């Protein structure tokens, strides 16, 4: 009897396995692309179903599809700022991070996004600039297309650009092409640009302060584990209080209308509840760990996960404006065109009346972008910019979340990318400052055996990635503006 040739069988199995891996590598991007196209088509169908048969239904369907396309790209690009630190610190696996981010993005957009939408869509354009509703429609359509194309290109290149800058630059370009430089409310743009400059500094200062506090009260104490038992529940309570305050303030008036005092009271109650829930969990976990620094880092995994989810909620509330601000203006302008009104009447509203179906497109579009196209940039921000452990990543996520929440509270469309990278800078600069103080005091470094280049990389972000990100930030506004102006010219030419 002939013996089977197991070596040939093994070779065939290896070839089959390689073929399957190659097929999966090719099919996965196509699957994501197909699902994205399906979502865009469903957004157009939703617009037609809501608006019914009218002269503007076809234009609304196209606008809804491009709004969905923009929302997909914003979710894919900006999820890195929210979940990158948690994934980089190994507090969350990639799949769990994407699912948590998607759910938090949807919740934040639906409950907290309407106020910032008003800033982007109505306060950036002078009321009397547009001579007809169709001009506003074409300008906002151009802005959506240009912004989506640039963010899509940046995501493909692996650059976490500011989607806020992209959409505002595109609105400026299209509006200027349509009605000249006088059409833009440059004072409002100046305040927005100022927030772009200040938000990274605020994020950096908060991250530095938080890291300094943790070092002072926990990691530099002789009894680290005992200090952690006392302080980690307090840190969780602070996060819970901030989240509760913002959540109550952002509830739709149809659900509940709360004053600032009532929101602060609700936040205080949620903070107390967070403390009551977190304390026994932290005590139980601490009992399993030894009194060493590595054990302290393990205790910060739960706060880091909560901070990342909080950041995703804040991002959904703040950056849904980038996706649906122009779409909301288009829908409003179409209503005015049907009634023969002037587009300046859009600005008569204190806040833009955003239809629920428009919010749904923005919310679920960002969530799908997170799941389908987010992993690449999550890996880049979490692993390639700087070396993060749970404590440092917690400081980055928490400070960034608080900054974006405050901005959304004030109705300012800040860039979550700016805030997150600013927080990374803050952590890095503080660690360099602490290391320099230790050297001046004659203390030895914690890891003297590491090469100098590796020690420098661990203390601060990698300079090459920072320069790439800063360059992308600098060109985003002019590039998206020029692209939007060109698209407006094409649309105007074909419509005329």
CB 392 within 8 A of CB 425: no
Mean pLDDT score, 137-156: 87
Q: What is the pLDDT, as a whole number, of residue 81?
A: 73
User: In the predicted model, is pLDDT for residue 487 greater than 90?
Assistant: yes
Assign 184 to helix, strand or coil: strand
**Cα–Cα distance between 354 and 90 in angstroms, integer?**
39
Q: Is the pLDDT of residue 272 over 90?
A: yes
Query: Tokens 């239809």 identify what position?
Result: 355
The whole-number average pLDDT for the span 357-373 is 85
> Does residue 320 register a pLDDT over 60?
yes
Q: Quick one: pLDDT band at residue 263, thresholds 50, 70, 90?
A: confident
Q: Supply the DSSP symbol for 383.
A: I
Nearest to 494 by CA among 69, 134, 46: 134
SS3 (DSSP) at 125: strand
Contact 303, 86 (CB under 8 A): no
C-alpha 457: how far from its chain's center?
25
- DSSP H or E stretch at residue 375: helix 375-379
Element (H, E) at 143: helix 133-157
Residue whose pair of structure tokens reads 């700016």 in the numeric block: 418
Instruction: Give the residues across from 184 on adjacent strands.
Output: 125
Q: Where are the alpha helices (DSSP H) in 411-462?
A: 416-440, 452-459
Instruction: Evaluate whether 410 touches 114 at the Cβ level (below 8 Å).
Output: no
Confidence of residue 184 (pLDDT cuts 50, 70, 90): confident
Helix 186-214 with 416-440: angle, nearest 10 deg? 40
pTM attached to this predicted model: 0.76
Mean pLDDT, the chain, whole residue set? 76
The secondary structure of residue 445, as a DSSP letter, is P
Among 54-63, 160-169, 260-269, 459-468, which is the least confidently predicted range?
A: 459-468
Beta bridge partners of 125: 184
Given a cut of 80, whether residue 496 has pLDDT beyond it is no
Task: For residue 350, name the pLDDT band (cuts at 50, 70, 90).
Answer: very low
> DSSP assignment, residue 277?
H
What phi-psi label fits residue 37: left (phi over 0), alpha (psi between -120 and 50 degrees) or beta? alpha
- What average pLDDT does this structure show over 181-186? 82
- C-alpha distances (whole Å) from 27 to each of 13, 40, 237, 394, 395 are 21, 20, 45, 36, 38
Distance in angstroms between the alpha carbons of the first and the last residue of the chain: 84
Helix, strand, coil % in the chain, rounded to nearest 5: 80, 0, 20
Q: How far apart are CA 454 and CA 462, in angstroms?
A: 10
What is each CA distance from 333 to 45, 83, 167, 437, 482, in whole angstroms?
20, 37, 19, 60, 24
C-alpha to C-alpha distance for 410 and 370, rounded to whole angstroms: 26
Domain boundaries, the chain: 38-223+291-495, 224-290
pLDDT at 483: 94
Between 25 and 180, the more confident residue is 180
Q: Model confidence at 457, in pLDDT bands (50, 70, 90)?
A: very low
Question: Tokens standing for 13?
Answer: 């199995």
Q: Is the pLDDT of residue 347 over 50?
A: no
> Which tens digit of pLDDT belongs to each residue from 192-247?
888 888 888 888 899 999 999 998 888 888 788 888 888 989 988 888 887 777 66
Percent of the chain with pLDDT over 90: 7
| Average pLDDT for 434-447 | 66
pLDDT in tens, 27-37: 556 777 888 88
Structure token digits, residue 172: 């400026």
What value, to the nearest 5°, has the Cα angle with vertex 167 and ends 253 and 85?
80
Average pLDDT over residues 320-346: 70
For the ranges 372-381, 403-412, 460-469, which has the lowest average pLDDT? 460-469
The band of 458, judged by pLDDT with boundaries at 50, 70 and 90, is: very low
User: What pLDDT score was predicted for residue 459?
Assistant: 47
């Amino acid at each position: 009897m002939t013996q089977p040739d197991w070596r040939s069988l093994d070779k065939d199995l290896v070839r089959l396995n390689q073929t399957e891996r190659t097929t999966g590598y090719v099919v996965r991007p196509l699957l994501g692309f197909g699902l994205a196209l399906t979502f865009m088509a469903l957004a157009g169908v939703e617009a037609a179903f809501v608006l019914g048969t009218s002269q503007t239904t076809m234009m609304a369907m196209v606008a809804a599809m491009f709004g969905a396309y923009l929302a997909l790209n914003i979710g894919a690009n900006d999820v890195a700022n929210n979940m990158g630190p948690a994934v980089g610190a190994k507090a969350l696996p990639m799949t769990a991070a994407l699912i948590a981010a998607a759910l938090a993005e949807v919740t934040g957009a639906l409950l907290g996004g309407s106020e910032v939408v008003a800033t982007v869509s109505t306060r950036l354009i002078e009321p009397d600039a547009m001579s007809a509703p169709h001009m506003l429609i074409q300008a906002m359509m151009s802005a959506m297309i240009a912004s989506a194309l640039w963010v899509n290109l940046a995501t493909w290149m692996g650059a976490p650009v500011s989607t806020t800058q992209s959409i505002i630059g595109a609105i400026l370009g299209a509006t200027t092409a349509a009605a000249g430089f006088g059409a833009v409310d440059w004072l409002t743009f100046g305040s927005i640009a100022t927030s772009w400059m200040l938000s990274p500094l605020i994020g950096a200062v908060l991250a530095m302060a938080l890291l300094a506090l943790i070092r002072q009260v926990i990691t530099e104490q002789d009894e680290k584990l005992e200090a952690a038992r006392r302080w980690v529940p307090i840190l969780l309570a602070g996060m819970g209080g901030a989240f509760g305050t913002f959540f109550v303030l952002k509830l739709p008036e149809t659900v509940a209308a709360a004053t600032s005092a009532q929101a602060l009271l609700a936040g205080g109650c949620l903070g107390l509840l967070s403390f009551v829930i977190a304390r026994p969990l932290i005590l139980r976990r601490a009992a399993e760990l030894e009194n060493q620094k590595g054990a302290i880092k393990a205790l910060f995994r739960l706060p880091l996960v909560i901070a990342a989810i909080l950041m995703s909620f804040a991002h959904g509330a703040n950056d849904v404006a980038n996706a649906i601000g122009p779409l909301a203006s288009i829908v409003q302008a179409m209503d005015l065109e049907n009634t023969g009104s002037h587009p300046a009447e859009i600005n008569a509203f204190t806040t833009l009346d955003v239809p629920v179906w428009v919010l749904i497109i923005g919310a679920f579009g960002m969530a799908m972008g997170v799941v389908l196209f987010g992993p690449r940039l999550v890996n880049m921000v979490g692993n390639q910019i700087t070396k993060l452990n749970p404590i440092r990543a917690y400081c980055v996520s928490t400070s960034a979340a608080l900054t974006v929440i405050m901005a959304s509270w004030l109705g300012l469309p800040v860039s979550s990318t700016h805030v997150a990278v600013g927080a990374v800078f803050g952590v890095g600069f503080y660690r360099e400052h602490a290391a320099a103080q230790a050297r001046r005091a004659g203390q030895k470094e914690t890891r003297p055996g590491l090469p100098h280049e590796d020690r420098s990389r661990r203390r601060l972000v990698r300079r090459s990635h920072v320069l790439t990100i800063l360059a992308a930030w600098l060109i985003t506004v002019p590039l998206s503006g020029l692209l939007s102006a060109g698209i407006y010219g094409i649309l105007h030419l074909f419509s005329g």
